[in-house]
């Protein structure tokens, strides 16, 4: 955890969820409405088909809703894409950009991710910018080099703590059940914090840096208690309200 930084627990549903899953969003919205909501933010990023209804379900709760991606342009002939303005028009407040699955499945570059983050800012959305190394990069000792490059290339010069969240997701840990050691996570997050402060100054000391990669109820308290870890970006465990709320609830002890 980082002193004086409000943690964020975010769920990325990826390509999962139909209307039947809205019951889970309703349960999460109800579950985060308590004393902990004064200290910790909660966010769910459902598929685009559920975006508008999800925001309606969470209107009177502390739960925020975001999207999983946006196009870099405001409008145009881009069949199948969604602009940041369209996402904001659904009353969402966050958007994930640069997730490793977008980088690998759609060959997204750092330059494109930066453009998407800038589009998010223009629509008054908070951008969650994802970075992380692959298994091969980790094995060859390139983790910090990759993080440095992706931070420099993916984060806009106009980024600040209000508009930007960084999510560190080791690609090899996403959906595999594997997690880095506490020392590995602490080292990576300390490095990212130092890089951000060197570039943006003291204001970057309060920019949130989330950890993602096989975060579960059983390891949430340990991971989110690490220095410079300001919350989590959760994949599969966010699909069930009980699991998401258990991870969110880890902060009952951490913020006590």
pLDDT reported for residue 23: 97
- Cα separation, 195 vs 209, in Å, equals 12
Q: 210 in the Ramachandran plot: left (φ > 0), alpha (ψ -120 to 50) or beta?
A: beta
Backbone angles phi, psi at 252, to 5 degrees: -60, -35
Ordered structural domains, the chain, with CATH: 8-254 (3.20.20.70)
The 10s digit of each residue's pLDDT in 89-113 is 999 999 999 999 999 999 999 999 9
- What is the predicted pLDDT for the residue at 175? 74
pLDDT of residue 1: 83
Active site residues: 99, 169
Percent of the chain with pLDDT strictly greater than 70: 100
Q: What is the pLDDT of residues 204-234, one digit of tens each?
A: 999 999 999 889 999 999 999 999 999 999 9
pLDDT above 90 (res 247): yes
Q: What is the pLDDT of residues 27-76, one digit of tens each?
A: 999 999 999 999 999 999 999 999 999 999 999 999 999 999 999 999 99
Cβ density class 59-82: b for 16+ within 10 Å, e for less: eebbbbbbbbbbbbeeeeeeeeeb
Q: Burial-class residue 87 by CB neighbours within 10 Å (0-12, 13-18, 19+).
A: buried
Mean per-residue pLDDT for 8-26? Answer: 97
Collapsing DSSP states into helix, strand and coil, what is residue 219? coil
């Amino acid at each position: 955890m980082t002193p004086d930084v409000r943690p964020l627990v975010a769920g990325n549903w990826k390509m999962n969820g139909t209307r039947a899953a809205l019951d889970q969003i309703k349960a999460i919205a109800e579950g985060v409405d308590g004393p902990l909501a004064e200290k910790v933010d909660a966010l769910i990023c459902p598929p685009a088909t559920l975006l508008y209804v999800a925001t309606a379900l969470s209107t009177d709760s502390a739960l925020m809703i975001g999207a999983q991606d946006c196009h870099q342009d405001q409008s145009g002939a881009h069949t199948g894409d969604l602009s940041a303005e369209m996402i904001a028009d659904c009353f969402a407040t966050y958007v994930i950009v640069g997730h490793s699955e977008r980088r690998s499945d759609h060959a997204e570059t750092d330059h494109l991710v930066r453009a998407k983050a800038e589009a998010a800012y223009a629509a008054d959305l908070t951008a969650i910018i994802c970075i992380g190394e692959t298994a091969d990069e980790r094995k060859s000792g390139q983790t910090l080099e990759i993080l440095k490059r992706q931070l420099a290339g993916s984060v806009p010069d106009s980024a600040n703590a209000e508009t930007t969240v960084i999510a560190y997701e080791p690609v090899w840990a996403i959906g595999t059940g594997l997690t880095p050691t506490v020392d590995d996570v602490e080292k990576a997050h300390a490095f990212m914090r130092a890089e951000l402060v060197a570039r943006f100054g003291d204001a970057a000391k309060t920019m949130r840096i989330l950890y993602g990669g096989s975060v579960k109820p059983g390891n949430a308290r340990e991971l989110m208690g690490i220095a410079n870890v300001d919350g989590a970006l959760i994949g599969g465990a966010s699909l069930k309200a009980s699991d998401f709320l258990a991870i969110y609830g880890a902060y009952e002890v951490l913020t006590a």
